[in-house]
Amino acid sequence: MSDDPVGLVRAAQAGDTIAMNSLLDHLVPYTSRICAPIALHSGADATQEALVAVFRALHTLREPQALYGWVRSIAVREAVRIARRDSRSTPAELTELPAPGDPQLAADIRDVLGRLSPEHRAILVLRDVEGLDEKAAADLLGVPEGTVKSRLHRARDSFRKAWTS
Amino acid sequence: MSGNWPNVDLDPVRRLRVLAAGIPGATVTERVLPAPFERVWALLSDLEGQFGRIQPDMHRVTITQVDGDRLQALARSRFGMRARLDGVLRPGWCWLQSRFLLIGMAASPEPGGGTRVAFTGGVRVPGRAALVPIGVGRAGRRAMNRLADRLH
């Protein structure tokens, strides 16, 4: 069997459950890379729920070439939903995001993520993990581009303030 | 990408829940059994031996080809029907299909102790990733009871 994800989607849509198994092997690392930083301690739940939604709706995916973009949007949506559902008392939440390449971001990403809301974590993941620009991130999250831009770029000083407090 | 971003893997039981969700009619039977993973999986993965005593409808399985974690097998049901199974066998994970059958088994160590086991499977709707929704849950519960008995 081909390991090409497009071929696997087509075979899975045609009813081959072994192809579904191989497709799952492909999609677990990709989905987890998006869900874990957004859902944090519920990362495994979010990854599972995102993939449940993916496999339930796989028959509706008309363009298998669009697989990863399609999975990405489901993964972000499910991760934010699960993170909100499971949100515990959040320590002094950052309202702004660190800039790309910020040394403090590189030093302790978990600490930074733990201070952000799920929606802010989603923007950070789309920018820094998925390499999306502001317009694409805004489209995917269903918010105006200006909102993403302001969340991303107003940020540095208040991030540093919260970080060093 | 900067820093060490959080990441997780999906354990086999979670993987089984995901695949079953994509297969209409596939019921998942789950239970935590009070035995270590190694002991549970030694029974479930013994396809040519214990497997036929645990899965109610399987009489005999003969593995015909192994290539890494992929395998092919011939199965004979207790009603005499034969099936050519094709699938994947890994620690904690077994996923087999023939034209008319689907068998999924998963096991993961439970954080509080014991082993979480999940089964799915049944008679396939020909040409589709779907199961005939008759007796699927009952077969899973029977297999789980047999497994629990053999672990005692």
Q: Per residue in B30-53, pLDDT tens?
A: 999 999 999 999 999 999 999 888
The CA distance from B59 to the nearest CA of chain A, in Å, is 23
DSSP per residue, chain B = --S--------HHHHHHHHHHTSTT---EEEEESS-HHHHHHHHT-TTTTHHHHSTTEEEEEEEEEETTEEEEEEEETTS-EEEEEEEEETTEEEEE-SSEEEEEEEEE-TTSSEEEEEEEEEBPTTSS-B--SSHHHHHHHHHHHHHHHH-
CATH architecture of A90-165: Orthogonal Bundle (1.10)
A156 has pLDDT over 50: no
Q: How confident is the model at residue A88 (pLDDT cuts 50, 70, 90)?
A: low
A106 has pLDDT over 90: no
- What is the pLDDT, as a whole number, of residue A92? 47
- What is the pLDDT, as a whole number, of residue A29? 97
Neighbours of A95 (CB within 10 A): 14
* Crossing angle for the helix pair A67-85 and A134-141, to the nearest 10 degrees: 60
Q: How confident is the model at residue A155 (pLDDT cuts 50, 70, 90)?
A: very low
Strand-pair partners of B116: B32, B108
CATH architecture of B27-151: 2-Layer Sandwich (3.30)
CATH architecture of A1-88: Orthogonal Bundle (1.10)
CB-CB contact of A148 with A134 (8 Å): yes
- What is the pLDDT, as a whole number, of residue B135? 78
**pLDDT tens digits, one per residue of B48-82:** 999 888 987 777 899 999 999 999 999 987 777 88
* CA dihedral for A84, A85, A86, A88, sign (positive or negative): positive
Q: What is the mean pLDDT of residues A102-110?
A: 70
CB contact under 8 A, B6 and A129: no
Output phi, psi for B27, to 5 deg: -90, 140
* Amino acid in position A91: P
CB contact under 8 A, B19 and A17: yes
Same fold, A1-88 and A90-165: no
Average pLDDT of chain A to the nearest whole number: 84
- What is the pLDDT, as a whole number, of residue A108? 74
Q: What is the ipTM of this complex?
A: 0.93
Cα angle value A76/A5/A82 (rounded, 5°): 20
Residues in A touching B22 (Cβ below 8 Å): 12, 20, 52, 55-56, 58
**pLDDT tens digits, one per residue of A19-72:** 999 999 999 999 999 999 999 999 999 999 999 999 999 999 999 999 999 999
* Kind of pairing between the strands at B29-33 and B93-97: unpaired
**pLDDT tens digits, one per residue of B91-136:** 999 999 998 899 999 999 999 999 999 999 988 998 789 999 887 7
CB-CB contact of B109 with B12 (8 Å): no
Q: What is the mean pLDDT of residues A91-120?
A: 71
- Which of the residues A1, A8, A17 would you substitute to probe the B interface, choosing the one with the greatest number of B C-beta atoms within 10 Å? A17
CB contact under 8 A, A12 and B129: yes
Output phi, psi for A133, to 5 deg: -85, 175
Q: Measured between CB atoms, does B39 come within 8 Å of chain A?
A: no
CB contact under 8 A, A24 and B97: no
- Domain limits, chain B: 27-151
- What is the pLDDT, as a whole number, of residue A109? 79
Q: Measured between CB atoms, does B92 come within 8 Å of chain A?
A: no
- Domain limits, chain A: 1-88, 90-165
Q: Measured between CB atoms, does A99 come within 8 Å of chain B?
A: no
